[in-house]
Chains A and B, each alone.
Chain A
């Protein structure tokens, strides 16, 4: 990969270049979640990664993305680097069509998958908990090979949830996998009316969900990945631009418009099957 050194105060680039802007719904409210992953760094030390997510909830569709993307903040930053490092997918759930479109950047390409909306067979329990005055109910269910425990509140009558978790008789306040690796925690909701647009682009790599899962398992799950996060990238696939954002240096892909990780953390898949 050729390296170009550029010094500039700020770099504005789109993290999710949207090929289409077809509006399919507008929001009833926006829910904000902290998403954390318990993992290990390249030296084997335990670390907790976290990013903020925004869940745009409409009557017909929901869209889960990063808060940076929600704020249309495309500047290189540590939070954006964390978002790339955590491999979170932008997930558009079309409730009316019972379909899900997910877009995920895996350097140096973006991958687009289409899948039917998964039906989680939630098991309700008698357990209740009050989180910040919201009465919550505990429920358990399995999605894509992982067992989840979720807390939902009937005070927010929406079946939406972060990522692909949904289908409960109230908004998901907290969801955690059985291994305690992945955790989504609601921290705020806002009544805001904004458009929910279709995601995806002809320029993205199209794969089935299963194939993408296998690809990630093979590539990101490789022990080399935390120390050399771009080990699998072929020579000449992109040009590396080193940008200086107010004194902090970041590497970004010149063609891919993606941040390039120098070190990463052990990949923790959200989907196992």
Chain B
């Protein structure tokens, strides 16, 4: 038995010895010197059998188990020498192969490895934009639309998980404020390397330990976009089949430069094609126009807009100069100078059905083509120091608004001529200082001061040869002083004491020429507030609660009115952080709003040809209790986001809006009567990206209901309303040369009062197909199909088709656009405003062909 075991063992050793071979040798260069660290690899086909490196003497040794019987390849590679290889047959137990290497004359090629599509560092998500771009994408905005959780609205407004961004930075600098369309629509997508989304963003670094719900975006540029000027030129010409301006043109030039210390974007654009030169000037943080008591009382003659299709005949132009200079790593000086002009007109037929006091309905039909022209110049200068321990900001701006409106109308077959002219300007300075001591005490002082004036506003009407007019002027001086101390007591508790004084001086005068009725109001509104409160942080900083008392004194001292009322507006907020990717927020508060001097306008004012407005003289007071909560969950690395939100409001007001209808004239006033209202809203939104398929899916659902009261000729109606909306979208690239987008929206709303019930539904399908026969050519067709309910039994269907062909050639993008291919000329829909119904029929722009070319400079 023992002998048998020895035989088996001997046979196994012999067998293994015969299968295991050794390859060894020495590697030297042409000077016979040994070469170390040469990679020596033994391979059979594409398979690596063994590898090693040569030592300091150039000697290498490889052992191969189960050596193949045929020829194998022995490769010698080194970064400084040419690659060599030799075919060997491993017949012997030891095979010796020496090698002489020749120095390389060509250096190794440099490589840049594509980073991961998405990286997370704390609250910052860095998206490698190139990983998400589609073939047809040209601008940064095209790329942003493809990022998980990011939505870009038609206006260019960017939001992340439903939250609009509060700051847009380029290489860490906020040059444009809310006018970030200027960057997103003019910076080529391939000039951007990273898009960083900063959740829980703090615009002031001194407040970095205070929980924040803000989201900001920062763009990192590639080296080719840094340190040298670049930009783009756009030009286009086209033809519209119908309309005022049949020949369509556009021309624009945008230049920009980004260095470590200085950034600038300058642009000059003009045209009459869609909103070409207007869209870049849109300020997403507000402040595009000047709002004064006079312009608020007497607006233009325009109303609403169709949700689909181009309907405005526009001419617009703009010039903008923006620059930011970094004095040091935390201090910047910024100058923005803008001018824009916008002229727009369109055709609209409107049918308004009003409930009159006797329970019958009165319908007014109107055809009009409102025309508006507005010039908006603006200059702003901003100094900002944003350090860990101190924040100092001063923003000065000066802006003007010069408007002209025409609103000639045919109402129930009568012709009326309407004109409006208005000039306004605003000077504003906002100062903000805050500091943080070593112990964590935070103090701040904020002093914004603004002066707004509308020296002239005039409306003129002419009906059947009878002319009448309404004029107004207003001046408003507003000063606010806010200051606060936040003192930490222990590690978890902070006490804060914000104090504010808001003072507003108004001077408003209205004059109705035909009757001589005049309102003249002068005086002050004072609103001192004190909001002592506290903040609690749990030790692990997951739980955060803040609460404030919200004590205020509301004072109105206009003409002979002396009104003072103390109010208490307590509020509370709770944040709970489950993890960096899951957060719950809850807030509740009670607010009291006191009417303003507008309620003292007791003399009639002609707002438009058939609306006379008279205020009641009663100081309105509304008290609202609002509660809201939301939960956001995201798995950035799985490209998944989910957010749930709910809110509820209960309100009580001491006055009730009342309308009275006489003939085609509608007048409104307020009744002194307590009225209550309630509303609740719920929403769910989710997005998911599949990077391997270049696919992004999104869905959101919302539901709301509520009730309120309205009065018609002193009869009170309780109006109940409810609505829900469903929305889904998908963009996918199933094969390399095809991209598909689809978007579906369904909306349902119902309002009920007395025995009446009105329900309106709408269904919109939108889609786009992009085909890339070659990588640089994008052929696309997009469509909107809408089915809207006009009356109980009437539905209107409408299809809008657009097509385009886009060719990228070197630094140039050539684009042919065909808008409204089916020449659809109208769009109708109905909305219910509680007891009234309004049906709009908008004229759409006719079929338009446009050839535009963009050069990257």
Contacts and interface: CB of A to CB of B under 8 A. Distances in A.
A238 to B, nearest CB: 20
Contact of A48 (B37, B121, B331): B121
Contacts of A71: none
A46 interface: yes
B75 to A, nearest CB: 8
Contact of B113 (A29, A124, A187, A191): A187
B329 A247 contact: yes
B464 interface: no
A96 B58 CA distance: 10
Given A43-B540, A186-B113, A190-B110, A157 B77 contact: yes
B113 A132 contact: yes
B519 interface: no
A147 interface: no
A46 B388 contact: no
Interface string B104-115: 000110111111
Contact of A158 (B48, B79, B385, B387): B79
B762 interface: no
A97 B112 contact: no
Contact of A59 (B37, B41, B113, B328): B37
Interface stretch (A11-19, A103-111, A167-175, A194-202): A167-175
Contact of A187 (B112, B329, B387): B112
Interface in B706-754: none
B329 A157 contact: no
| Residues of A in contact with B, size category | 35 or more
A59 B79 contact: yes
Interface in A128-185: 131-134, 137, 154-159, 167-170, 173, 185
B561 interface: no
Contact of A191 (B47, B108, B114, B329): B108
A247 B330 contact: yes
A204 interface: no
Contact of A247 (B114, B121, B387): B387
Given A132-B113, A134-B113, A188-B111, A167 B53 contact: yes
Given A28-B108, A124-B48, A59 B80 contact: yes
A187 B115 contact: yes
Interface string B52-92: 01011000000000000000000001111001000000000
B541 A170 contact: no
A141 B20 CA distance: 22
A131 B328 CA distance: 39
Given A59-B36, A157-B77, A187-B112, A249 B388 contact: yes
A134 B112 CA distance: 10
Given A45-B579, A189-B110, A247-B389, A156 B540 contact: no
Contact of A9 (B47, B107, B328, B386): B328
Interface of B is mostly: loop
A95 interface: yes
Contacts of B328: 9, 246-247
Interface string A31-67: 0001000000001111111100000010110000000
B51 interface: yes
A29 B78 CA distance: 12
B79 A156 contact: yes
Contacts of B56: 95-98
B286 interface: no
Contact of A245 (B111, B112, B329): B329
A108 B579 CA distance: 33
A8 to B, nearest CB: 12
B120 interface: yes
Interface string B535-550: 0000011100000000
A157 to B, nearest CB: 4
Given A34-B115, A95-B37, A44 B540 contact: yes
B39 A169 contact: yes
A70 to B, nearest CB: 16
Interface in B634-688: none
A170 B37 CA distance: 11
A168 B385 CA distance: 51
B307 interface: no
Nearest to B116: A185
A46 B55 contact: no
Contacts of B39: 157-159, 169-170
B651 to A, nearest CB: 39
A95 B36 contact: yes
A98 B57 CA distance: 12
Interface string B575-617: 0010110000000000000000000000000000000000000
Interface of B: 36-37, 39, 41, 47-48, 51, 53, 55-56, 77-80, 83, 107-108, 110-116, 119-122, 328-331, 385-390, 540-542, 577, 579-580
Given A132-B113, A156-B79, 11 more contacts: A44-B540, A60-B36, A60-B37, A95-B37, A97-B56, A134-B113, A157-B79, A169-B51, A185-B116, A186-B111, A246-B387
